[in-house]
Amino acid sequence: MYTHYDYLQVAPDASLAELKRAYQQRVLRTHPDKVQQRGQAIPLGTTETKQDTGEAELFQRIHLAWQVLRVPEKRRDYDIYLQELEAQSHGVIHDEVHLDELTYDAEEHIYIQPCRCGGEYALADQDISIGADIALCSNCSLRLKVNYTWDSELPTP
Ligand SMILES: [Zn+2]
């Protein structure tokens, strides 16, 4: 599993200044406009659709990482999330679903999916705001990978 720190290629204890520098460097390399410019230089006949998709997602991930880690409260929440995952390191990903497939509890602001053990996977709005995409079962050690797209609005670095 790649963390926000991995996407920015920084250490988990990186300072805000280090994060910012790393983000700016990573953006320069992966910004869709830059990738497109590079693409134009590639000889005709080369298919690179798959690569484009990969690079666009990578850019989104890097942007998301920065949006979370730059805000101290969000970074703290994200660090707690990583600690929870680590504390339960024997957990295995049981399934991979899209967020739309989960049931949304509007009162609790939480997405829920029953686990086969009788417990349930839960992902709160707050988890989504920090880019968390692994839901832990409340009862057993299974995990659910939840896919969704983030706000891909481009930042001004
Ligand atoms: Zn379970």
116 C-alpha to center of ligand 1: Å? Answer: 6
147 C-alpha to center of ligand 1: Å? Answer: 19
Query: pLDDT by residue (tens digit) across 54-103?
Result: 788 888 899 999 999 999 999 999 999 999 999 887 888 989 999 999 99
Q: What is the CATH number of domain 4-70?
A: 1.10.287.110
Rounded to a whole number of angstroms, the CA Rg of the chain reads 18
Residue 1's alpha-carbon distances to 45, 108, 155, 156, in angstroms, are: 34, 28, 25, 28
Residues of the chain with CATH 1.10.287.110: 4-70
Q: Could you tell me the pTM of the whole model? A: 0.79
Q: Rounded to an integer, what distance in angstroms lies between the CA atom of residue 52 and that of residue 56?
A: 6
Residues of the chain with CATH 3.10.660.10: 91-153
153 C-alpha to center of ligand 1: Å? Answer: 35
Q: List CB contacts of 62: < 8 A, sequence separation 6 or more.
A: 7, 8, 23, 26, 27, 30
**Stretch among 27-41, 56-70, 76-90, 118-132 having the lowest mean pLDDT:** 27-41
Cα first-last separation, the chain: 26
Asked whether the beta carbons of 66 and 17 are under 8 A apart, the reply is no
Q: What string of DSSP letters covers 113-138?
A: EE-TTS-EEEEEHHHHHTT--EEEBS
- Say which CATH topology domain 91-153 has: Microbial ribonuclease fold (3.10.660)
98 C-alpha to center of ligand 1: Å? Answer: 18
